[in-house]
Amino acid sequence: MNDTWSVEEHRDDILGAMRPLEPIELPLLDAAGCVLVDDVVVTAPLPPFDNSSMDGYAVRTADVETATDEYPAVLRVVGDIAAGSDTLPTVGPGEAARIMTGAPIPPGAQAVVPVEWTDGGTGGGPATGMNGRREHGPEVRVHRGAPARAFINGRGSDAATGAIALTAGTVIGPPQLGLLAALGHATALVRPRPRVVVLSTGSELTAPGRPLGPGQIHDSNGFMLTSAAQAAGAVAYRVAAVADDAPSLRAALDEQLVRADLVVTSGGVSVGAFDVVKEALAGEVDFRRVAMQPGKPQAFGLLGPDRVPLLGLPGNPVSAYVSFELFVRPALRALAGHAPEALDRPRVTARLVCEAPLTSPPGRRQYLRGTYSAEEGTVAPVGGSGSYLVASLARADALIEIPEAATAAEPGAVLTVVLLG
């Protein structure tokens, strides 16, 4: 091990080596969650044609100008226009066309009056809705006037030709996907989701579902980190745990590199006699101490001819998870093309709620697990500081930062909190 790195130095070193993945054209649903590569320019207006925002009657404004309940305008109904209609009647003076929401405005009409402002063609009082296709009379009584363009969604009023609908760098969420579809795009040019291989090391590990032999534990990191990678937007592959044997680990890694944009290992990076990641990758990968707790031993390097980034996380489950959130997640988001300010988990400040002061090792930034209350602006610790405490990790929604220089945090102290979302 060399000298000690700060959290930021280690993070920045990793991010400095990340290049956004090459753009790829994906079908819309596969592009969900991905970052758009180019601006999307509107090439045809949205809506594509003037259409009605109400079920009602398309009219000429002069015909209904003076209409009241007492003196309704009586108009001849010249046709029915449904959404999707391709033949439209012309509305002349003294005429109206029944029109449904989304249907094209017929030639001659200048406004739509909602059916509730008419008798619905029944010859009776105000209508509450449209009658069936054949049940309306030849006339409609309109009780209220409407100005020009009333209840008309204008062609291009949502997105005009030439406008930028979405800017490069936008993350495609459901509304953005809806807009692309509305504009007629079947695909989007995006950065692909990074492919991540997650590999646990340790001869003590056995798969969940299997009984534990003497000295064995279940591989929890593999599942936790694979799921964390998925939650970060990656396509993640979990590899069965590899024993503490350097040639086996090397072989497993070499086999996996072909499908990896990034590799995450857990375990085997400390100073033990069987620290296998160290043994297998010494020379290629840098092993360093980071001034934090948990997460002190870390490995980072670029593997194989394709220089695939490898982040070697410590084996203790809390250490592995905290390291993922602080280092792996930003790296994955950088590969996916997210903006520099969108790489990290959000940070807030919160008032510490606890009974006794919390202690912290000198010279190391501590990340304690906690629960955050946005309403109260407070954070409370969950469980202790031990890096093996996976049960309390599972109850936390935040990490409480105690700065390197501090050896304690008093109740009421205002601290930085990383929100785990």
Ligand X SMILES: Nc1nc2c(c(=O)[nH]1)N[C@H]1C(S)=C(S)[C@@H](COP(=O)(O)OP(=O)(O)OC[C@H]3O[C@@H](n4cnc5c(N)ncnc54)[C@H](O)[C@@H]3O)O[C@H]1N2
Question: Can you give the binding site for ligand X, defined by CB under 6 A?
Answer: 200, 202, 204-205, 217, 219-222, 266-272, 275, 294, 296-297, 314-317, 319, 387
Interacting residues toward ligand MOO by CB under 6 A:
293-296, 314, 316, 319, 387
Closest distance between ligand X and the C-beta of residue 233, in Å?
23
Closest distance between ligand MOO and the C-beta of residue 224, in Å?
14
User: What value does the CA radius of gyration of the chain take, rounded to a whole number of Å?
Assistant: 32
Closest distance between ligand X and the C-beta of residue 275, in Å?
5
Question: Is-contact 315 386, C-beta < 8 A?
Answer: no
Ranked by CB distance to ligand X, the top (closest) residue is 315
Closest distance between ligand MOO and the C-beta of residue 272, in Å?
12
Query: Which of ligand X, ligand MOO, none binds 266 (CB below 5-8 Å, type-dependent)?
Result: ligand X
* Cβ proximity to ligand X, 241 vs 417, nearer residue: 241
Which are the contacts of 78, defined by CB distance < 8 A and separation ≥ 6?
89, 90, 91, 92, 95, 96, 97
Closest distance between ligand MOO and the C-beta of residue 271, in Å?
11
Which are the contacts of 261, defined by CB distance < 8 A and separation ≥ 6?
21, 194, 195, 196, 308, 309, 335
* Cβ proximity to ligand X, 61 vs 248, nearer residue: 248
Closest distance between ligand MOO and the C-beta of residue 322, in Å?
8
Closest distance between ligand X and the C-beta of residue 12, in Å?
22
Cβ-based burial of 292 (10 A; exposed 0-12, middle 13-18, buried ≥19): buried
* Cβ proximity to ligand MOO, 45 vs 294, nearer residue: 294
Q: Give dist(CA 340, CA 363) in Å, integer.
A: 28
Query: Which of ligand X, ligand MOO, none binds 200 (CB below 5-8 Å, type-dependent)?
Result: ligand X
Residue type, 263: V
Query: Which of ligand MOO, ligand X, none binds 268 (CB below 5-8 Å, type-dependent)?
Result: ligand X
Q: Give dist(CA 170, CA 33) in Å, integer.
A: 10
List the one residue out of 327, 346, 347, 329 whose CA is nearest residue 338.
Answer: 329
Query: Which of ligand X, ligand MOO, none binds 275 (CB below 5-8 Å, type-dependent)?
Result: ligand X
Sign of CA dihedral 65, 68, 73, 79: positive
* Cβ proximity to ligand X, 52 vs 221, nearer residue: 221
* Cβ proximity to ligand MOO, 221 vs 316, nearer residue: 316
DSSP 120-188: TTSSSS--SSPPPTT-S-SEEEE-S---TTTTEE-TTSSB-TTSEEE-TT-B--HHHHHHHHHTT-SEE
Closest distance between ligand MOO and the C-beta of residue 233, in Å?
25
Query: Which of ligand X, ligand MOO, none binds 72 (CB below 5-8 Å, type-dependent)?
Result: none
Closest distance between ligand MOO and the C-beta of residue 1, in Å?
12
Query: Which of ligand X, ligand MOO, none binds 56 (CB below 5-8 Å, type-dependent)?
Result: none
* Cβ proximity to ligand MOO, 75 vs 318, nearer residue: 318
* Cβ proximity to ligand X, 51 vs 385, nearer residue: 385
Which are the contacts of 405, defined by CB distance < 8 A and separation ≥ 6?
none
Task: Please calculate the CA angle 298-304-305 and round it to the nearest 5 degrees.
Answer: 140
* Cβ proximity to ligand MOO, 110 vs 319, nearer residue: 319
* Cβ proximity to ligand X, 83 vs 271, nearer residue: 271
Question: Is-contact 409 370, C-beta < 8 A?
Answer: no
Q: Give dist(CA 178, CA 158) in Å, integer.
A: 13
Query: Which of ligand MOO, ligand X, none binds 219 (CB below 5-8 Å, type-dependent)?
Result: ligand X
